[in-house]
Structure 1
């Protein structure tokens, strides 16, 4: 069963990662290569993160109505069908037209809604002894999709158009929809704990002091790397890389982040998710600050190596932190609680993108000030994790 969970959630997260690659890696890098300013790019990426911030509103619906495997599978198939239609519409869009932005926002929304259902499925079926490993597999699946339709697309643009990549993704989506309906569409196995709460009452858990202390951790700790993630492509362009070289560098980050996610999941199972979460975050704060200070000073190889090492740390951090949040959400209203925490991490992503863009655009030192400053904000969240939250999970 463990191997089944690992393969299943790897595949499901692949279909989350592919839209992320397009929206957060491919298009921002292309925009930067065409002279678009960092403030405009970060506004674009921050806005695209908004559906992920508000996805927690779907949590009560999942907790109340999706009580068996069949329900989760059919909901995912419906969301993937919506994503498929949005991608087909995007093929006809003019990149310079405002409708292009709204289509990307819609695509981001379908990806975020998938995330709610997938995470609820995982929380209800994955045992504590495999939670870290499955989270590592989830991140590996997400990164694979992100690379193919992000960094991989940037490398391949010399030979194919992005339209071809979208058509290929549409074909994969059709295969996934058929798999979900055939393999799980009639499986009535009950999972999770039933909930009859609706409206604001579904969020009553936010009054719990133990839960409230998780909020600054979720909103702030990711600042140690999210700001850099929002500007990785533009940062490399500003340091003399061309789009193809950015694609190659981001390909390296895929491998290191994937390896980091698998290592982080295993170590989190062995040492405790909180233990790994905290230490990975502190290490990332140091690495991101070094990258910022190296702006305009370090050679291409040194920068690429630092970026790849940073993404290894991001992989460890992500697997451990998600395992930590899953443990805190276990029990009644688990989909709502976990989705709420994940929404706070997505709010962190949006806030950090706005913050780094604002600082970089209004400072003569640009990234040298912006990246260390945002990493310092993340340390505040880690201090709450280290001193204010004493769980051994």
Structure 2
């Protein structure tokens, strides 16, 4: 254990950074398993079942709890971090993890026959997972000293791509071989396993005393947080809107669910995790601003390639390579930089609230883009959908460059 001084001047004992990263990393993987199933695997399965794209786009309504979790984040943070004593992060993770696992089991039992019921269950799962995420983010910022925040960020991004590879890759392979019910039950069991490192080994960090309760008003009153929210909205729009229809597009291009699962799983993990490591190195060398601008330029090129493929056609191998570059490599590169900024913006005295607020903007833009992309693709085709997204990425370059200038960066709260 080592001591670190917080902004309020207290000394707090911390576990080793490796122990914290392993503990929170398991939770981040589990949350992304749910995300991969909901937003990548499920649209592909529904498309194979013959559902129209505008109906498939409705699955993005399951993002709603991630959009609204800022409403209950202050209450969760007050419960998690009491004025005296120890953090209650473990109890939040235990209850939320059990509810998420039970929800995934329920999706398997419900089957694919009723889209409304299925989306409703995934919304409830997202509510439980989003609540766990509030506690997990707060714990990571609280338990890691500032010089180790990069490791926490690596756990977030790396865990996200590992979880997405499982949820969108392994899950689709299991659906192809064993059916929807067995695959869903397997993912429910996996969630429980992934939570064990946190429940068994995560240290109970002393919350210490505080002169004020965590609040949204305090977060929104800071200029750096408002700039961060706008940056998140612009950057996520350009990175996620175009890729939300990639699964259905690849299914319509002739990939079966098993092949798509291998592409999303092995390919997505290798490309995404590798680019996450590259992004971390580039952020250290160049700073977050340059890395985010680079990611926007590369995403515009990749989406333009997908638009060309949709309109004129490309060999399937080239199509898969372009899709992997866009959805895994470039997004990993850019989101390492964006989440590094998020972690820097979060005040340790209310880390769960601040980080949650920034993530809610991410989720809000993602949900709007998923529903809107399905509507556009259904009416005007994949080519138009990808071309519009590429244009947005180009337009966003100067905006992101301005919003991520050093002058707009976080300033410590006095």
Q: 1:239 matched to which residue of 2?
A: 253
Cα shift at 1:96:
1.5
Is residue 86–residue 207 contact of structure 2 (8 Å, CA) maintained in 1?
A: yes
Q: 1:335 matched to which residue of 2?
A: 352
Cα shift at 1:314:
0.8
Match of 2:164 among 141, 146, 149: 146
Is residue 32–residue 234 contact of structure 1 (8 Å, CA) maintained in 2?
A: yes
Is residue 136–residue 264 contact of structure 1 (8 Å, CA) maintained in 2?
A: no
Q: In the alignment, is residue 63 of structure 1 matched against residue 63 of structure 2? A: no
**1:194, 1:367 → 2: CA distance?**
52
Residues 19-50 of structure 1 deviation map (CA, whole Å, 9 limit, x = unaligned): 11221122110111122111111122x20111
Cα shift at 1:335:
1.9
**1:66, 1:195 → 2: CA distance?**
16
* Structure 2 portions without partners, runs of 5+: 1-15, 410-414
After superposition, the Cα gap between the structure-2 partners of 1:301 and 1:172, relative to the gap in structure 1 and judged at 3 Å, is: closer
Cα shift at 1:380:
4.7
**1:262, 1:188 → 2: CA distance?**
29
Q: 2:239 matched to which residue of 1?
A: 225
**2:206, 2:45 → 1: CA distance?**
46
Match of 1:123 among 141, 145, 158: 141
Is residue 291–residue 306 contact of structure 1 (8 Å, CA) maintained in 2?
A: yes
Work out the number of aligned pairs and report it.
386
Classify the secondary structure of the residue corresponding to 1:213: helix
Q: 1:42 matched to which residue of 2?
A: 57
**2:397, 2:132 → 1: CA distance?**
28
Q: In the alignment, is residue 298 of structure 1 matched against residue 304 of structure 2? A: no
**2:348, 2:287 → 1: CA distance?**
19
After superposition, the Cα gap between the structure-2 partners of 1:84 and 1:272, relative to the gap in structure 1 and judged at 3 Å, is: same
Match of 2:339 among 309, 316, 322: 322
Q: 1:99 matched to which residue of 2?
A: 117
Residues 325-345 of structure 1 deviation map (CA, whole Å, 9 limit, x = unaligned): 111123443321211111001
**1:160, 1:193 → 2: CA distance?**
52
- The CA RMSD over aligned residues, in Å, is 2.4
Cα shift at 1:172:
3.3
Classify the secondary structure of the residue corresponding to 2:255: coil
Cα shift at 1:176:
4.8
After superposition, the Cα gap between the structure-2 partners of 1:387 and 1:115, relative to the gap in structure 1 and judged at 3 Å, is: same
- Counterparts of 1:161-172 in structure 2 under 5 Å? 161-172=179-190
* Structure 1 portions without partners, runs of 5+: none
Q: 2:22 matched to which residue of 1?
A: 7
Moved over 6 A (4+): none
Is residue 296–residue 396 contact of structure 2 (8 Å, CA) maintained in 1?
A: no
TM-score w.r.t. the length of structure 2 is: 0.85
